[in-house]
A and B are shown apart, each in its own frame.
Chain A
Amino acid sequence: MHKVFSVPDPLRKTPTHYCPGCGHGIAHRLVAEVIQDLGIRGKTIAVAPVGCAVVAYDYWKFDCSEAPHGRALAVATAIKRMQPEKIVFTYQGDGDLAAIGTNETIHAANRGENLSVVFINNAIYGMTGGQLAPTTLLGQKTSTSAAGRDKKLHGYPLKISEMLALLPGVCYLERVSLHNPGEVLKAKSAIRRAFQNQLEGLGFSLVEVLSPCPTYWGLSPREALDWIRDVMQKEFPLGRIK
């Protein structure tokens, strides 16, 4: 019998700690599939974030570094500069990349570091219990904005991908989503493109992935996917940004 679906080699055969309906498991798998397809597991080095995905290295089967919260792109910059022949990517959440690490993000992008970034945007802080994120939507209730995000108190959802599009060092930006199988396949193509760009030495590539967090959105897994489709992608439109 011909086997059509299996665990990609760069992914460990182990259950994850993620909540039911969380997008991280899918995103981890997409990254692993891309690395498998490109045949680069032996020369890939990942930098994990601080956030729910901090132990991504327990699920991936290739070299990984941790970084302090927000500093993944500084750590990745040095790894890539020391080993330009390796494939280096960061995997970061919205708090990591767009709040505490905004400075590192902008400057790594502006230097045009030849890196790939998988940016998981779930509009909330998951690991610490559902607090307001830079990408939280207006009106969205979180544990530190119980009445909903108020532009007067908290400002607006930060569109960091659109901001990065202004920088000449950035070669590729795309926003994708995990809310249905078709979008998941598009997300995989975008991640592959980001890695392919690095292989070709084109510069800084970032894929923003709209990813469900049913636990802290207070929704069922199914409702969370619908919320991305019906609400979240109106604020964060899908498609090629640069």
Chain B
Amino acid sequence: MMNNKKILLSGNEAIARGAIQAGCGFYAGYPITPQNELIGYMSNHLRDSGGVFIQAESELAAINMVYGAAASGARAMTSSSSPGISLMQEGISYIAGSALPAVIVNIMRGGPGLGNIAPAQSDYFQATRGGGHGDYRLIVLAPDSVQEAYDLTREAFYLSDKYRVPAMILGDGVLGQMMEPVELSVKNAKMGDKSGWCLSGCQGRQPHVVKSFFLREGELEKFNLKLQKVYRRIEEKEARCEEMFLAGAEIILVAYGTMARIAKSVIMRLRNEGKKIGLIRPVSLWPFPREAFRAAGRNTEYLVLEMSYGQMLEDVRLAVAGRRKIEFLGRSGGGILSEGEIIDKIRSLIRKPGGRK
């Protein structure tokens, strides 16, 4: 069928194409591995759709250009990898504080510091807790396939516009680099009406000001309460996750992104042996899909798997609230958990006498 035409893309290219399909009108970025295909694609193709591409002098400049483009009412995006995203935190805080929509892509690599260029998931705290200064949140979406990277990028623009909250696509070096067939969409992501606040010159209306500075007594608190109301609404409406084999599961694996793909292979192998293993894969990391953790049976325990030393683990603990046992397995800094390592851990949990109450 003509509509189902698939093409082979890397995760980085899929995000770039998803953004352009979503009507991204502005991209600024600074080269950093492992997301260079993304900036490369944007430099070659964004102009064709009438957009503006700028290779910025730094990540600081890139995120602030995104601020300016978003203030102009455009769909604006930047992408980087861990150290570059750290540099952008000031700008992201200002974008959140000015209630501007924007999409930030982080194709994570090993840290802290310059770390290395191996895939990692160790920026989870930075992404889901805000990252910069102040009480703010990002909508954080974590694809586990190239197709989903394409689809969620479009979704990120839509959600960011809808709530005027910056959104982040959180992937890792594996997702960015690997190639998979992608079904391109002809769907548009509905654009929010920005005419009531964007900067376009005050001809025929009162001047607009885009700002995050609220010096008069009580003003900032009022603004923060407004933000909090938006965040609560997002938590109610926008949490999403993939669930597999939860009914009757004795062990539920919890993993996102690349780690979830490995977890899925493990599940298929162990279910063939008759083991009752399920999976919760958070797709939105903020809002965290807490509801998915309510349905577990009395004897279920969770095994959280991450390419970090236990960051999403804290959200699982908050969601489970002490009602079930939680185990953790993680590697980061170059290593990725293998199926074998995970299976060994699961077998040890199953064998453990009185391990599950």
A residues adjacent to B (C-beta < 8 A)? 41-45, 47-48, 54-55, 57, 60-68, 71, 74-79, 81-83, 86, 103-104, 106-107
Residues of A within 8 A of B57 (CB): 103-104, 106-107
Contact count A vs B, C-beta below 8 Å: 129
Pick the residue among A42, A65, A68, A107 that contacts B202 (CB under 8 A).
A42
Q: A67-B64, A79-B199 are in contact. Are A74 and B72 (CB under 8 A)?
A: no
Which of chain B's residues has its CB closest to A78's CB?
A: B68
Cβ-based interface call for B94 (8 A)? yes
Pick the residue among A61, A66, A79 that contacts B72 (CB under 8 A).
A79
Residues of B within 8 A of A63 (CB): 199-202, 207-209
Pick the residue among B52, B90, B215 that contacts A81 (CB under 8 A).
B52
Pick the residue among A43, A65, A67 that contacts B201 (CB under 8 A).
A43
Pick the residue among A44, A48, A61, A71 that contacts B60 (CB under 8 A).
A71
Contact B201 A77 (CB under 8 A): no
Contact A81 B61 (CB under 8 A): no
A44 to B199, CA, bound (A): 9
A186 to B57, CA, bound (A): 34
Contact B94 A78 (CB under 8 A): no
Residues of B within 8 A of A45 (CB): 199-201
Q: Which of B170-199 contact A (CB under 8 A)?
A: 199
Contact B54 A81 (CB under 8 A): yes
Report the minimal beta-carbon distance from B197 to chain A, rounded to whole angstroms: 10
Contact A103 B65 (CB under 8 A): no
Complex A-B: 28 CB contacts under 8 Å: A44-B201, A45-B200, A54-B213, A55-B215, A62-B202, A62-B207, A63-B202, A63-B209, A65-B211, A66-B211, A66-B213, A67-B67, A68-B94, A71-B67, A71-B91, A74-B61, A74-B62, A74-B64, A74-B67, A75-B68, A76-B68, A81-B26, A82-B69, A82-B72, A103-B57, A104-B57, A107-B56, A107-B61
Q: A61-B207, A66-B212 are in contact. Are A71 and B201 (CB under 8 A)?
A: no
Contact A62 B201 (CB under 8 A): yes
A218 to B257, CA, bound (A): 60
Cβ-based interface call for B285 (8 A)? no
Residues of B within 8 A of A62 (CB): 201-202, 207
| Residues of B within 8 A of A (CB-CB), count | 40
A27 to B122, CA, bound (A): 48
Cβ-based interface call for B316 (8 A)? no
Name the residue in A63, A66, A68, A77 with the highest tally of chain B Cβ atoms < 10 Å from its Cβ. A63
Cβ-based interface call for B346 (8 A)? no
A41 to B90, CA, bound (A): 31
Contact A79 B68 (CB under 8 A): yes
Report the minimal beta-carbon distance from A53 to chain B, rounded to whole angstroms: 12
A82 to B25, CA, bound (A): 8
Given contacts A43-B201, A78-B72, 15 further A-B contacts (CB under 8 A): A63-B201, A64-B211, A65-B199, A65-B209, A66-B94, A68-B90, A74-B56, A74-B61, A75-B67, A77-B65, A77-B68, A78-B68, A79-B72, A83-B201, A103-B58
Contact B199 A78 (CB under 8 A): no
A71 to B199, CA, bound (A): 17
B residues adjacent to A (C-beta < 8 A)? 25-26, 28, 52, 54, 56-58, 60-62, 64-69, 71-74, 76, 90-91, 94, 98, 199-204, 207-213, 215
Q: A61-B202, A74-B56 are in contact. Are A79 and B69 (CB under 8 A)?
A: yes
Q: A57-B209, A78-B69 are in contact. Are A103 and B61 (CB under 8 A)?
A: yes
A63 to B198, CA, bound (A): 9
Name the residue in B66, B72, B98 with the highest tally of chain A Cβ atoms < 10 Å from its Cβ. B72
Residues of B within 8 A of A78 (CB): 26, 28, 52, 54, 64-69, 72, 76
Residues of A within 8 A of B52 (CB): 78, 81-82
Contact A86 B201 (CB under 8 A): yes
Contact B210 A66 (CB under 8 A): yes
Which of chain A's residues has its CB closest to B93's CB?
A: A68
A28 to B328, CA, bound (A): 59
Report the minimal beta-carbon distance from A60 to chain B, rounded to whole angstroms: 8
Contact B65 A74 (CB under 8 A): yes
Residues of A within 8 A of B207 (CB): 57, 60-64
Pick the residue among A43, A61, A65 that contacts B210 (CB under 8 A).
A65
Residues of B within 8 A of A44 (CB): 201
A63 to B201, CA, bound (A): 6
Q: A66-B98, A74-B61 are in contact. Are A82 and B74 (CB under 8 A)?
A: yes
Q: A63-B200, A63-B208, A82-B25 are in contact. Are A68 and B72 (CB under 8 A)?
A: no
A118 to B54, CA, bound (A): 24
A47 to B98, CA, bound (A): 14
Residues of A within 8 A of B26 (CB): 78, 81-82
Name the residue in A41, A64, A74, A76 with the highest tally of chain B Cβ atoms < 10 Å from its Cβ. A74
Pick the residue among B67, B212, B213 that contacts A55 (CB under 8 A).
B213
Report the minimal beta-carbon distance from A18 to chain B, rounded to whole angstroms: 14
Report the minimal beta-carbon distance from B305 to chain A, rounded to whole angstroms: 37
